[in-house]
Amino acid sequence: QVQLQESGPGLVKPSQTLSLTCTVSGGSISSGGYYWSWIRQHPGKGLEWIGYIYYSGSTYYNPSLKSRVTISVDTSKNQFSLKLSSVTAADTAVYYCARYGAAAGLDYWGQGTLVTVSS
Amino acid sequence: EIVLTQSPATLSLSPGERATLSCRASQSVSSYLAWYQQKPGQAPRLLIYDASNRATGIPARFSGSGSGTDFTLTISSLEPEDFAVYYCQQRSNWFLTFGPGTKVDIK
């Protein structure tokens, strides 16, 4: 059973960089076939795809966030990470990591972590 | 960017009733459409992928249909645990977008 777990600071100051890590267990990122994804949900709102990464390092980002987003992968630790720069209060959200299969959808999700941007 | 529209925004039904949720895409997404269920305080759960395939462990009362721009999620007979928010999601050129959601609440 694949499990994903987000970790990182729950509070980030405006203009700083939000950094989160997703640790994958029960399956190897390096086995291929899946894209490792970040999705966020503003309080009381819908879901917003941030981007994803393949184990090889290929990335795809939401065009609306592309200038501020970096997703990286560390296959030796079976982890992938999100960096979002120059954050504002509008980046306050629950951040989820998830596994995406082209023929399977976002089939495994982390529990989500609330990140608040505030001074 | 492909925009997904979901209707209705809210669906008020009683347990045992049939729920029909709609998702419309601004341009064709072929069959690259998935449906998710989200309950308060929980991560979304994959229900349907590729428009009509049930994900592992999803009860048979959930079914999906459609292709191109018009898609439907049907819950044949609502169980108490089915009252939740439902999102559709598409993939186009490897970019993902979600619809705004349909809330199914108890009448």
Kindly indicate the confidence band of residue B7, based on its pLDDT and cuts at 50, 70 and 90. very high
pLDDT for position A38:
98
Indicate whether B92 pLDDT > 90.
Answer: no
**B99/A46 CB distance under 8 A:** yes
pLDDT at residue B1 tops 90: no
Does the beta carbon of A54 lie under 8 angstroms from any beta carbon of chain B? no
Tell which of B96, B98, B102 to mutate to test the A interface (max A CBs under 10 Å). Answer: B96
Is A46 close to B87, i.e. CB distance below 8 A?
yes
For the segment B61-78, the average pLDDT, to the nearest whole number, is 98
Low pLDDT (below 70) residues in chain A: none
| 8 Å CB contact between A94 and A113 | yes
Supply the pLDDT for residue B93: 82
Please tell me the distance from the alpha carbon of residue A69 to that of residue A88, in angstroms, as a whole number: 14
Give the residue from B84, B46, B36, B82 showing the smallest Cα distance to B61.
Answer: B82
